[in-house]
Amino acid sequence: MARKTGSHSNITGPRIREVALSLFAQQGFAAVSMRKIASEVGVQAGALYLYTPDKQTLLFDLMQSHMDELLAAFDIVEIAGSARARLEQFARFHIGFHMERPDAVFVAYMELRNLEPANFTKIEELRRQYESLLENIVKAGQVEGIFDVPDSKLATMALIAMLTGVNTWYREGGRMSRAEVEDVYAQMALKAVGA
């Protein structure tokens, strides 16, 4: 029962974030106490405050990291080319990225309402940036005359919702492989805008 005193800062920090993300996704930010997180990590509640100033900041850091990763990852794989090719690539990227980290995606969306106003504003700005990447593709397709969408903003929101929705049902090791799911969603996305 008793736990040895010792130095684990390089392990405990990441573990706290990992455990917190998982618990926030499963039970919700407000339903998870600092004691629950600490217990799962294997430390006492007081020790958490060596790694985060408070619970709110812990949530905000998790959400900000997720959004930063998302933007950085797309930045690396983004391609030039026709709007059609770019949309297909965005759909495949989005699906793949979201399938790989369901907890982070869930928390980043569901816990927005638990952010303090200043933190909310920052996360919303990152989200807006990401959405505008897709909207630019949709607009390019309109300009090229190959997409049939009456409103680029609405089409963007519809596409993102459709693609993100994969996380409500996809489970690793299920009936379909990740690649199959990516294929089907990418085709539906292209058809939805009339490409």
Residues that bind DNA (CB under 7 A): 2-3, 5-9, 11-12, 32-36, 38, 42-47, 49-50, 53-56
Q: How far is the C-alpha of 14 from the C-alpha of 50, rounded, in Å?
A: 12
Which residues are near its own copies by CB under 8 A? 26-31, 110, 113-114, 148-151, 154-155, 157-162, 164-166, 168-169, 176, 181, 184-185, 187-189, 191-194
The minimum distance between CB 27 and its own copies, in angstroms, equals 6
Using the minimum distance from each CB to its own copies, give the nearer residue, 11 or 188.
188
56 interface partner picked from DNA, its own copies, none, CB below 5 to 8 A per type:
DNA
165 interface partner picked from DNA, its own copies, none, CB below 5 to 8 A per type:
its own copies
Task: Give CA separation, 152 vs 78, 131, 137, in Å.
Answer: 20, 11, 9
47 interface partner picked from DNA, its own copies, none, CB below 5 to 8 A per type:
DNA
- Give the sign of the dihedral formed by CA 27, CA 28, CA 30, CA 35: positive
Residue reference for tokens 């850091």: 61
Describe the chain by its helix, strand, coil percentages, rounded to 5: 75, 0, 25
Contact call for residues 35 and 45 (beta carbons, < 8 A): yes
Using the minimum distance from each CB to its own copies, give the nearer residue, 43 or 195.
195
